[in-house]
Chains A and B, each alone.
Chain A
Amino acid sequence: MVVSVLLALLMGALVFLAAGANPFKAYAVMGLGAFGSLYDVSEVLVKAIPLIFCGLSVALSAKILLWNIGGEGQLAVGGIGAAAVALFLSPHLPPALTLPVMILAGFLAGGLWASIPGVLKAKMGVNEILTSLLLNYVAIFWLEHLYFGPWRDPMGMGFPGTAIFPESAWLPRFFQTRVHLGLILCVLLALVLQWVFSRTQWGYEMRVIGENPKAARLARINLTRYTLAVMFVSGGLAGLAGMAETSGIHYRLQQGLVVGYGYIGIIVAWLSRLHPIGVLFVAFFLASFLVGGDQLQAVMHLPSSVGLVLEGTLLFFILGSDFLSKYRLRVIFKCQAPHLK
C-alpha cells in the first residue's frame, strides 16, 4: 500500500516533469496548499464532504456487486431537490424544518434518480453500469436547463443561476471557515453504514450477496429487493452530496455544482476497499490533492487537473498492488531441462 502510493507519487513526478515543472517544488506547493494553514485544511475538509457522500454511495452499491457510477447525476438531482425546497417550499415551512426537509428532498431525489437503473436492473437485468452512467448526462442537462431557464434568478442580471436561498436553507458553517454541517452528517452516515455492514442482518445478507450470489439464492435472500433498496439508498447518499454542496457552499444552483465528485467517489470507495470508515480517510486524502492541485494553478501556472491525474495514477497503482499483493514475485533464471528418452 505504502509502496504503491510512493510509486504513484513517482509517476506524478514524471507528469510534472513532462509539464515542465520541478516535481519537488510542485509537491511542496501542493502540500503547502492543502496543509499550509488551518484554513487550507478546512478547505480540504470542505472538498472531502461531497467525496465522502459519493464514496459511501459507491461503497454501498459495490457491496452487493452493483456498480453505481451515476453518482455525478444523482448529486446533481439531489441538488435540484434541495433547491426546489429552498426556493419554493421554504416560505411555507417553519424555518427550523427547512433544512431537514431539504436533506430529505436531496436524498429522495438522488434515490429516485438512481432507482431508474435500479428498477431496470432488478426487473429486466439491464446493466446498471451503462444506465447509471448515461443518466449522468441527462441529470446535468436538467440541472443546467433549470438554472439557465425556468429557475434563473430574475434579479441575477443574466448570471446563470437561481436566486440565493433564504438563510434558513443554509447549512450552518463552523469557525469562520466554509466547513459546514454536512461534515457531521456524512461522518455519522459512515459510522452508521459501518455498523450496518458489520453488525446487522442487512449487513450479513449484503455480504452473502456480494461474496457469493449463488449461496444467497440458497439462503433465500431476495436479490431483487436488495437491488432496488441498495440502488435507492446509494443514489440518496450521492443526492445528499448535492444537497450539501448547494446548501452548504453555493446557496443556489449554479455552475460549479457538478465538478466530478461523483466520479472521484468511485475512486474513494475502491481505495477504501468498501469500508465506510476508510472512506472518511481516503476522501480527506484525495480532497487534499484537489485543494493542492488548485494551488498548482495559482502558483506554478500548471493546470489544476494535475491533481486529478495524480488521483488517477494513485488508483491505478493501488489496484495494481492489490492484485500483486496476492502473489509473490520472484525473478527466476531459466535452466535447461533434459528430455526424457
Chain B
Amino acid sequence: MKGITKRFPGVLANDRIDLEIQPGKVHALLGENGAGKTTLMNILSGRYRPDDGEILVDHQRVRFHSPKDALQVGIGMVHQHFMLIPNQTVAENITLGMESPRFILRREKIEQDVERLSKAHGLSIDPRAYIYDLSLGQQQRVEILKLLYRNVEVLILDEPTAVLTPSEIEELSKTLKDLARSGKTILFITHKLEEVMEIADEITILRKGRVIAQTKTEEVESRRELARLMVGREVVLRVEKEPVIPGTTVLELRDCSGYGDRGHQAFQHITFAVRRGEILSIVGVAGNGQTELVEAIMGLRPLSSGQIILFGKPLQESTSLNMGEVGYIPEDRLGMGSIPSLTLVDNLILTSYPSFHRRGVFQREAAARKTEALLSRFHVVAPGIHATARQLSGGNLQKLILARELSKNPRLLIAEQPTHGLDIGATEEVWLELLKQRETAGILLVSGDLREVLSLSDRVGVIFRGRLMDILSVEDEDWISDIGPMMAGVKQERTR
C-alpha cells in the first residue's frame, strides 16, 4: 500500500500510509483507538476506497470497488463484529454467497467441503452446527474458514482476541502461526502488546493516521518501548491501588435467577454483596449471563426468583430504582448507553435529565455549562457540545458515558466492560476514575479482561453459563491462577 490517505468528515483517518506486507508472515498493526488501523484495513479489503494512494498486489496496481473485488485477488477480512447468520449452520454460512451453478443447495456436498477444509487447516468445527450454538471463539473459526473457502491468501483480522478466553487466544495464535507457515499472509489489528509479541513476525505501529514505526518482532527491545511508540508518551501499565476500608453494603443479591431474551435460563442462584469502598468483579467470557444479570439489577429485566437488596431495601420490580444513586455504564454503548443521533448535551443528561428541567422547562444554559465542564474534566475530545454522539470515537463516547455516570456521585456503580475496545491511554484514565470512585461508592465491575479485573478488584467472582463459581479475594494467589480455566468452565477442586 502506497501513500494511502482517507478522510472522514473532520478527521484524517489515514495520512499517506505506506505499508509493505511480506507473504507467509504474521503482521501486526498496532495502535490506539482512532489511530486508523481499521480504516486502513477496510481499504485493503475493499470496503472503503482511499481518497489517495494505491494498492499494489504482486507489484500490480489494483483498485477495489467492493470487498468482492478484494476477495477476487485473495484478500479477505474478519471484522470485529462477526458477520454470520445465527440461524444457519456453519456450512451454510461458509458457502453463502458463493456462486453455485445449481439452484438447489447441495447440502451434503458443502458440508463435506467444509469438513475437509476445516481438517486441512486444523480448525475443527462441526459443519452442521448452528451459529447461535457456538461460542465466540468457534464463530471466529467459522469466519476464518469462510475466507479460506474463498481461497484467500491474505487474511485480515480486526481485534481477533477481544472476545476470546485466555485459552481460546492461545488456540487462535497457534492457528494464525500455522496458517502463516502454510504460506498464507496474516494481518491483524490489535492494541494489545502481549499479543503482538506473542504472535507477530512483523509490527507496524500507527498513531493518528500515520505510520510511526515498522519493525520485526525480534528487534523489539521491550513492551514498554512499543507502548511508548503507540501512545506517544510514557505509560504505566499498572495502577496503584490505595487500600480502602469497606463500608456498608450497598447491593446484595440473594439467590437470584432470571431468563434471557431467548427464554433460556440466563443466570441462576447468584448470591453476592457489594460494599462501599470495594470493587467486586464478575469476570467471564461474554455471553455467560453477565449482561442479563446486570440488567436485572438495573430493573430492566425481571427476576424469576431471588431478591435484590439495594441500599438495604428490597428492590421491587415495579418500583423504578433511583437513577441518582446508581451509576450504570452499560456494555452496549451505542445501543443503550447513548443516543447516537442526539447531541452531547442530550446524551449527558440522559440519566439525570429531570434535574435539568424546571417545572418541565429545559434549562439550556445549565445543561450546556455542565456539559462543557464534564467534557473538559474527563478529557472527551469532541467537536462541540452540540455535536451528535455518533461523531465521537469509541473511546471518547465511553468517557462521555463515564462522565455522565460518575458525575452523579453514585453510591453504587455498575460498570460493564468499561474499557472494552479502549486503548492503553484511555484505559488508564478509566481505571483511575473507577479507583477514585471506590472511595465513595461500591463498584460492581463486569469484565472479560483478566488484567483489568486483577488490577482493579478487591474480590473476584467467575461467571460461567449463568452460575457464579466462587468469589475470592485477589490476594489469594492460587485462586488467581484458577480464574482462566474457570472462565472456560473448568472448576478446580481445592481444599480450603
Contact = CB atoms under 8 A, between A and B. Distances in A.
Interface stretch (A26-34, A200-208, A234-242, A300-308): A200-208
A214 B335 CA distance: 7
A204 B332 CA distance: 22
A339 interface: yes
B337 interface: yes
A340 interface: yes
Interface string B332-354: 10011111111000100111011
A21 B11 CA distance: 53
B63 interface: yes
A219 B323 contact: yes
Interface string A191-202: 000000011111
A341 B58 contact: yes
Contacts of A22: none
Given A338-B58, A338-B60, A204 B353 contact: yes
A198 B362 CA distance: 8
B87 interface: no
Contacts of B154: 340
B388 to A, nearest CB: 10
B323 A220 contact: yes
A25 interface: no
B339 A212 contact: yes
Contact of B74 (A199, A202, A340): A340
Given A201-B357, A203-B362, A337 B339 contact: no
Contacts of B73: 337-340
Interface string B283-311: 00000000000000010100000000000
Interface residues on A, range: 20 to 34
B36 interface: no
B372 interface: no
**Which of A201, A334, A337 is most buried by chain B, counting CB atoms within 10 A of its CB?**
A337
B209 interface: no
Contacts of B361: 199-201
Interface string B57-91: 11010111100010011110000000000000000
Given A201-B360, A211-B339, A220-B320, A339 B74 contact: yes
B423 interface: no
Given A200-B360, A338-B62, A215 B298 contact: no
A218 interface: yes
A217 interface: yes
B328 interface: yes
A3 interface: no
A218 B350 contact: yes
A332 interface: yes
Contacts of A198: 362
Nearest to A219: B350
A253 B422 CA distance: 66
B440 to A, nearest CB: 22
A2 interface: no
A335 interface: yes
A337 B298 CA distance: 53
B357 A337 contact: no
Contact of A340 (B153, B320, B338): B153
Nearest to A333: B65
Nearest to B322: A220
Interface string A315-341: 000000000000000001011011111
A331 B283 CA distance: 51
Given A211-B339, A337-B69, A339-B73, A218 B362 contact: no
A218 B72 contact: no
B57 A219 contact: no
Contacts of B298: 218
A82 B482 CA distance: 76
B62 A215 contact: no
Contact of B353 (A199, A219, A337): A219
Contacts of B448: none
B48 to A, nearest CB: 13
Contact of B362 (A201, A208, A220, A334): A201
Given A201-B362, A214-B332, 5 more contacts: A201-B361, A211-B340, A211-B342, A218-B351, A337-B63
Interface of A: 198-205, 207-208, 211-212, 214-215, 217-220, 332, 334-335, 337-341
30 contacts: A200-B361, A200-B362, A201-B353, A201-B362, A202-B360, A204-B346, A204-B353, A205-B353, A207-B339, A208-B346, A211-B341, A212-B336, A212-B340, A212-B342, A214-B336, A215-B336, A215-B337, A215-B338, A217-B300, A217-B336, A218-B330, A218-B350, A219-B323, A220-B320, A332-B65, A334-B65, A337-B72, A338-B58, A340-B58, A341-B58
Interface of B: 57-58, 60, 62-65, 69, 72-75, 153-154, 298, 300, 320, 323, 328, 330, 332, 335-342, 346, 349-351, 353-354, 357, 360-362, 364
Closest 3 CB pairs of A and B: A201-B357, A340-B74, A212-B339
